[in-house]
């Protein structure tokens, strides 16, 4: 998992609420356990007009030329709802997304994002609406500063928060096992203070 410090990227505004994991990566593409080969199937049923994935839907926002290379996904409430599947953040990440910004996420999806190094950011509804309005007028670029928990866009700034584990995990590029190993000296010191069993 790569360390996350700061990221500046183009925003693609996906103006759809309650996007579920089957929309993100349909179930027929979940036949592998390796974390590769899923990006091409991201939002398959929306990006393509046919089941084979040969006819591109020109009206779907991810297919529009002006959003090519976008690395920040702006979304609506309850993003990532539905069944639990790590393949959903895998697909988003492989497609090129580094950050997802929404007013709320499904809990399991949110945790899966943290586990793979994809930064999920929760902002207030009014702030999300402001970003959608900005993105409607121009190509929107945001700078995400994880150590300081702030997003900037020109003179505008938005703050966000993560818990201690999430912040540490993303900044240091470690999962829960790596986080535990990094705390091993502290764990051993604590255990050394415990009375021996009689």
- Please give the tally of structural domains in the chain: 1
- pLDDT digit string, tens, across residues 38-86: 989 999 999 999 888 889 999 999 999 999 999 999 999 999 999 888 9
Cα distance between residue 100 and residue 113, in whole Å = 9
Residue 177 counted as domain residue: no
Q: What is the CATH number of the domain that holds 37?
A: 3.20.19.10
Cα distances (Å, whole numbers) of residue 89 to 39, 44, 117: 10, 14, 9
Residue 150 counted as domain residue: no
Residue 198 has pLDDT above 60, yes or no: no
Instruction: Name the residue range of residue 103's domain.
Output: 8-140
Residue 108 counted as domain residue: yes
Following DSSP, what letter does each residue of 39-71 receive, concatenated?
Answer: GGGTTHHHHBSSTTS-SB-TTSGGGSGGGTT--
Residue 197 has pLDDT above 70, yes or no: no
The whole model's pTM is what? Answer: 0.90
Residue 77 counted as domain residue: yes
User: If phi over 0 gives left and psi between -120 and 50 gives alpha, with beta otherwise, what is residue 125?
Assistant: alpha
Residue 197 counted as domain residue: no
């Amino acid at each position: 998992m790569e360390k996350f410090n700061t990221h500046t990227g183009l925003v693609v505004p996906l103006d759809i609420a309650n996007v579920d994991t089957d929309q993100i990566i349909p179930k027929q593409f979940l036949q592998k356990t390796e974390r590769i080969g899923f990006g091409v199937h991201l939002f398959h049923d929306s990006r393509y007009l046919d089941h084979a994935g040969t006819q591109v839907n020109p009206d779907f926002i991810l297919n529009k030329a002006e959003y090519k290379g976008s690395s920040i996904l702006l979304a609506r409430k309850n993003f990532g709802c539905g069944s639990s599947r790590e393949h959903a953040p895998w697909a988003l990440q492989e497609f090129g997304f580094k950050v997802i910004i929404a007013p709320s996420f499904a809990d399991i999806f949110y945790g899966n994002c943290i586990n793979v190094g994809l930064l999920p950011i929760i902002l207030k509804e009014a702030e999300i609406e402001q970003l959608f309005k900005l993105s409607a007028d121009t190509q929107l670029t945001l700078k995400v500063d994880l150590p300081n928990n702030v997003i900037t866009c020109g003179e505008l700034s938005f703050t966000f928060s993560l818990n201690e584990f999430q912040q540490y995990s993303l900044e240091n590029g470690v999962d829960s096992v790596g986080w535990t190993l990094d705390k091993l000296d502290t764990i051993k010191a604590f255990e050394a203070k415990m009375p021996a069993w009689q």
